[in-house]
Structure 1
């Protein structure tokens, strides 16, 4: 199992929609090619940023095949597979063709608010069902519960195919605890764009990013410099892109990054309800940021 393929910059791909609200495969191909050409290390399909909660099964298959065909084996692919129903995740693993994927990204159960024992048991059964390596996804702002450092450490020690965690609690102290306490080869991956560089400089493995897909060359270079310990050069790039990080999350994800793609000419900024477009003020600020950059 080559964990090195997940060191660096991964991007949580959007799902572009056309003006009628249908999956826009032509735009998705352009987005994938944009990542490949600008130095990202791997792609994450059907995560939260992909609005996967609003996609039906047929659309999910269309998204997967479009990315697989556009990627042509050039970058490792990670598939988002998660639910607050443990059995549903197992069933999806058993009924999904995982041939073209290198790992699974699985979010902690949302809404149910399980105990730490429940979270552990959830990932235990997923680990036993999965033929692929698993990256845990901790995002308390969306799930309503935090995966504690202790639980992550226990999962990392007990199951060889649980290889990392996308840590998006926004808590740098917890991130450093994870880096310090998990096994040496366990990947602690930032899920928070703003604190990616401090995490990397503290021993983290990189990022699964939203902003990086809009500015892949700049953000990937920042992460690369951070992994190499070149903090001064890396922070110059961090400060350059930090205003955009704040802006893209100001009115929700992926509304902000879709506005960026619109101004880059890569896709429409269409979203599916209950998500709506950013307002005119933020849209113009993002447009000006791109122009000045």
Structure 2
């Protein structure tokens, strides 16, 4: 087992549903292929963007089967596990059965435990298989330095994904732990905050917009690493921040806004087909996003979407 977490821009495909509420398997396959064609460095299926909370074990296996068939080992393939501990352990075993590279361990269901309980939750899941594990620091799984230090000693734990956003904590974590594990930016619309994360040693991030305008995310990240402040500023001002302002207008938009963007650029997703408690974005927000993406198509054209 290669004990290294993926670096670069990480793809988190949504789970598309048809008009009957079933997984649209062809659409999922095509959307994963779109992300691979765009050059993303890893694929994470059945995570938050993939509506992990709303799919059953059979659907979970279907998603992994499709992803495995499309990815074919070309990039690391990760799954999501978490929530109910028993369910997380079961899905970790399913992931192991399909020989994926690892999984992202999401926060536990509902309850907030003491630091020892949070450690036991992450460690129990991480050590239940030999797959790589990335722990997700957010919501009711906000960890202390001591907890992360202990988890970093678990061989299966290869990465820390931050969705909490405390830069004071992140400085302390990265200073003390260093390169024992990898550091991933998991904040919503991670492009917004990546300028602050890169100097700390965070060398990858999950990109929501890479579901529909991956070339913008790539141009942004390349410019950021190259010190091209002009391009970074331009993409933030014209694309990233305007989309993020829409995302902040509704709960659940972290998922439904992605599906809307995919539909607008011509990818095979019906943006209204989400599962409760997620709801589709409002029409006025859809039209705002459509206007932004039209400008993107004109100023930053992509060969990937021209034929869609």
Q: Same fold (TM over 0.5)?
A: yes
Distance change (3 Å), C-alpha of 1:26 and 1:118: same
Deviation, 1:16, is: 0.7
1:13-162 aligned at under 5 Å gives the runs 13-85=13-85, 87-140=86-139, 144-156=140-152, 158-162=153-157
| Residue of structure 1 aligned with 2:270, choices 268, 271, 288 | 268
Matched residues in 1 for 2:219 and 2:56: separation? 36
Tell me the secondary structure at the aligned position of residue 78 of structure 2. Answer: strand
Q: 1:73: Cα distance to partner?
A: 2.3
User: Counterpart in 1 of 2:304?
Assistant: none
Look up the match of 2:300: none
Q: Deviations over 1:62-99 (max 9, x none)?
A: 111112222232221111111232x4433433354444
User: Which segment drifts farther, 265-274 or 201-210?
Assistant: 201-210
1:212 aligns with 2:198: no
Asked whether the equivalents of residues 5 and 41 of structure 1 are also in contact (C-alpha less than 8 Å), the reply is no
| TM-score, normalisation: structure 1 | 0.89
Segments of structure 2 that go 5 or more residues without pairing to the other structure are 297-308
DSSP-derived class of the 1:183 partner: helix
Task: Identify unmatched segments of 5+ residues in structure 1.
Answer: none
User: Residues 93, 191 of structure 1: CA spacing in aligned structure 2 closer, same or farther, 3 A cutoff?
Assistant: same
Residue 278 (str. 1) matches residue 278 (str. 2): no
Q: Distance in 2 between matches of 1:239 and 1:97?
A: 42
> How far does residue 205 in structure 1 lie from its aligned partner after superposition?
1.8
Q: Structure 1's 149 and 84: CA in aligned 2 closer, same or farther, altered over 3 A?
A: farther
Check the 8 A contact 1:211/1:248 in 2, yes or no: no
Q: Does the 8 Å contact 2:224/2:232 carry over to 1?
A: yes
The offset of 1:234, in angstroms, is: 3.8
Is 1:189 matched with 2:184?
Answer: yes
| Contact residue 5 and residue 182 of structure 2 kept, 8 A | no
Partner of 1:254, secondary structure, is helix
Contact conserved, 2:159 with 2:182, CA < 8 A, in 1? yes
Q: C-alpha displacement at 1:37, in angstroms?
A: 1.4
1:221 aligned residue (219, 223, 230): 219
Q: 2: distance between equivalents of 1:155 and 1:77?
A: 22
Alpha-carbon separation, structure 2, partners of 1:277 and 1:190? 26
Q: TM-score normalized by structure 2?
A: 0.85
The answer on whether the counterparts of 2:160 and 2:184 sit within 8 Å (CA) in structure 1 is yes
From the superposition, tell whether residues 166 and 35 of structure 1 become closer, same or farther in structure 2 (CA, over 3 Å): same
CA contact (8 A) 1:10 1:43 kept: yes
* Distance change in 2, residues 1:181/1:222 (3 Å): farther
Alpha carbons 1:137, 1:167 under 8 Å: kept: yes
| 1:230 CA drift (Å) | 4.9
Contact 1:29–1:66, Cα closer than 8 Å, also in 2:
yes
- Cα deviations by residue, 1:17-72 (Å, 9 ceiling, x for unpaired): 12222111121122112111112110101101111211122211111111222223
Displacement of 1:129: 1.5
